[in-house]
Structure 1
């Protein structure tokens, strides 16, 4: 039986490659037709997940999408993106334009590694440089510091990491190397010990929610994997105590289009980088297909409109399903929202650096709501978003003490979030934790409310 399934899967893969070979993607990068943005047009044979694949490439190239027009109703995918660089300018270099074109073609071409299945969407390619560690668990004071301390005690150096928190849940993807070799950890006993000890840290005394650890000598697309991990951990489920935060949530609606087998999803929220990736990633991993879409993020508020069906061809067909789509999209948007004071740490890499820094934060009563760790060329560049234990702005004296201990030039202050919450809004505050707070066709009679 297993052999038959494997043979069928291999046949599907070969068919996908054949379709891509017969219908190679067409990519046009146009710097002339729009005065304030570079226009990227992509035409390709259609397949589930192709929209996410293109958006993911643009995000990985650090491009900001200001407008998008999506159409994939049939066997062909056609998309237009208006993009700018991180400084808000058109793409000025010819070499960069060619790079964008090449990356998209490679991503969608015959030899691309993208496969529609959700489980196979994570590219576990062998790596000799690092070991990937995935962690999910209930948030609590000191969690990040404890995780880093365990890794340091086991002589594992954190090379890259990203940590997200949402709705009392925490998730992290960490790439670590062995102190002795500077490469991936090869000893099976050590890998087993890492997994066991980290599981114990994540589990703590919490018996109501499961903790998960996974260790592999491989690579993942970190941000997509974090979305999948938090989705699997059901961070979108809200308790009745969270009702007071409704006004802070993104505005998400789901209605069925009159006389059409589509459900229309509209999203309005404050714009920020990578917003389109977050929503498209969630729809794709929930097994929905975007047939048409319109995205406008040129102002402070972003507007997204999608016409979707489930992968089985049906629109949203129950109130429970509608609510789940809304909750999951809200969670996807909120996960990346960063509340608190932004701190940037840049220094030479050394063993145990992350453990020392997070310990200093904890000892000075700071909570970390999100973290990014990057190591390149022997240098470490870390970003932390921090608050005090009550969820308020960090006291200047505390900040001075921390910078004096870590180094005034090493730890730089980059500013406060506009949306710090008061203790009254959420009495429980965790390290690595936070409770984040249409162009309507309805009035034209073209769509109907879901019933």
Structure 2
């Protein structure tokens, strides 16, 4: 009989406690942005965790310089708020220092940071339903209809579609008890079977869709990337309509022979959370980023990453390079939504999501992306839609019909590109008191559970 040597669990954080991470927020060096500097002991996944903290605070990363060769990790991020201004809110600065400083690393805040959700209830009051499957027009309406029939309330949801696949995460609870449904095995089984029945309309194969359940919360964006990546949404050609609406990112892979790196360069139209999406995909593909440079000029971004695989190898074969290029192109496109954006606000109730999506479906609209949350007693939702058959933009006649059908209890605002048009179902001062011309700002569709 043998025995294992004792391993002190405190050893895992020993290097961090000896050399605690240093974070500084500098508002004096640059006149048009805030510098966030992070110095820390290097470890796997640290870059993604730092970028995740900054993007979850709705900060825009305009430039970044990363170096993590050897045992030390050094980052400099140039960030602004959503209006392009320096970070002046002391609460946000404190959150950055708390999450990226010694306490954040040792306590595991970065690893366990949950998805963002709103409401007064705790994470244990919700069950997270994850669904991945083949997309088709009206699918969200059918899923929300099943949940409404089962008296399951959707407190928050996020839906992404890409390359004929759909991934969604729904936070639900029982309407009667206001608690999650994870403890009721029979009910979970019923929900799962009915969701699978919806997807079987796309084919007879059971692998057409997968549904899973968990208590508490997940990081929504991170998980959606993982679901679509595992579903291989990067494979297959885009449809003609998608090619017409999508500007393909330029991804190239070279080799730095002197240092033994593969060099990945991504050039595309700039947008919020672009760096997070790219780093997230590189992490999922088991790559280590040793150096990186990120910059934005006007409306376009250029990002360069010096990487190796976890085993130290570079990308040498054309097959390996082609797969990485496809995966990064998919990562950039997943969050891009063309067409019309509908923002709605109404009093929350069971079946509200089903009612709204049925109206969209009856008017021949397909949901390409969606975000739903609750703020107090109000449900606030954003739907990105296009014509279900042609994929083209929605005309003014359809918008007017939507305004009539949605009803007096709901407010609707319509956005397209940089233009913003208000279509309030209420009139006069009553409508103006609800939403201003600048509109309801959705920096996050879901808020953090922790302060």
TM-score band by shorter chain is 0.7 to 0.9
Aligned mate of 1:220, from 199, 206, 218? 218
SS in 1 for 2:412: strand
Q: Which residue of 2 aligns with 1:153?
A: 149
Q: Which residue of 1 aligns with 2:413?
A: 413
Contact kept in structure 2, 1:161 and 1:173, CA below 8 Å = yes
Going from structure 1 to structure 2, the CA distance change for 1:165 and 1:378 (only over 3 Å counts) comes to same
Contact kept in structure 2, 1:163 and 1:170, CA below 8 Å = yes
Deviations 1:192-219 (A, max 9, x none): 2111211221232424653110011131
SS in 2 for 1:109: helix
Structure 1 position 15 matched with structure 2 position 11: yes
Q: Which residue of 1 aligns with 2:190?
A: 193
Instruction: Work out the CA distance in 1 between the residues paired with 2:382 and 2:358.
Output: 15
Q: Aligned residues, how many? A: 406
Going from structure 1 to structure 2, the CA distance change for 1:131 and 1:316 (only over 3 Å counts) comes to same
Q: Which residue of 2 aligns with 1:271?
A: 270
Larger mean Cα displacement after TM superposition, 399-408 or 355-364? 399-408
Deviations 1:31-85 (A, max 9, x none): 1101000100001110111000000001111111110000000101000001111
How does the TM-score come out when normalised to structure 1? 0.85
TM-fit CA distance, 1:245: 3.4
Output the aligned Cα RMSD. Answer: 2.5
1:45-84 matches, cutoff 5 A = 45-84=41-80
TM-fit CA distance, 1:11: 5.2
1:117-156 matches, cutoff 5 A = 127-156=123-152
Instruction: Work out the CA distance in 2 between the residues paired with 1:384 and 1:106.
Output: 39
Contact kept in structure 2, 1:268 and 1:304, CA below 8 Å = yes
Instruction: Work out the CA distance in 2 between the residues paired with 1:207 and 1:18.
Output: 53
Larger mean Cα displacement after TM superposition, 179-188 or 14-23? 14-23
Stretches of structure 2 lacking an aligned partner (at least 5 in a row): 116-121, 419-451
Q: Which residue of 2 aligns with 1:110?
A: 106
Instruction: Work out the CA distance in 1 between the residues paired with 2:141 and 2:29.
Output: 51
Q: Which residue of 2 aligns with 1:348?
A: 347
Structure 1 position 28 matched with structure 2 position 20: no
Instruction: Work out the CA distance in 1 between the residues paired with 2:265 and 2:298.
Output: 16
Contact kept in structure 1, 2:128 and 2:170, CA below 8 Å = yes
TM-fit CA distance, 1:145: 0.4
Larger mean Cα displacement after TM superposition, 394-403 or 130-139? 394-403
Q: Which residue of 1 aligns with 2:256?
A: 257
Contact kept in structure 1, 2:42 and 2:71, CA below 8 Å = yes
Larger mean Cα displacement after TM superposition, 372-381 or 78-87? 372-381
Going from structure 1 to structure 2, the CA distance change for 1:44 and 1:347 (only over 3 Å counts) comes to same
TM-fit CA distance, 1:238: 2.0
Going from structure 1 to structure 2, the CA distance change for 1:217 and 1:17 (only over 3 Å counts) comes to same
TM-fit CA distance, 1:98: 2.0
Deviations 1:132-187 (A, max 9, x none): 00001101121110000011111111111100000000000110011011121131
How does the TM-score come out when normalised to structure 2? 0.85
TM-fit CA distance, 1:396: 1.5
Deviations 1:212-240 (A, max 9, x none): 10011131101000000000000000238
SS in 1 for 2:82: coil
SS in 1 for 2:106: coil
TM-fit CA distance, 1:348: 1.5
TM-fit CA distance, 1:191: 1.3
Instruction: Work out the CA distance in 2 between the residues paired with 1:240 and 1:360.
Output: 28
Instruction: Work out the CA distance in 2 between the residues paired with 1:241 and 1:148.
Output: 27
Q: Which residue of 1 aligns with 2:93?
A: 97
1:227-266 matches, cutoff 5 A = 227-239=225-237, 245=243, 248-266=247-265
Instruction: Work out the CA distance in 2 between the residues paired with 1:65 and 1:114.
Output: 18
TM-fit CA distance, 1:241: 6.5
Q: Which residue of 2 aligns with 1:315?
A: 314
Q: Which residue of 2 aligns with 1:398?
A: 398
Instruction: Work out the CA distance in 2 between the residues paired with 1:37 and 1:204.
Output: 51
Contact kept in structure 1, 2:173 and 2:180, CA below 8 Å = yes
Instruction: Work out the CA distance in 1 between the residues paired with 2:409 and 2:393.
Output: 21
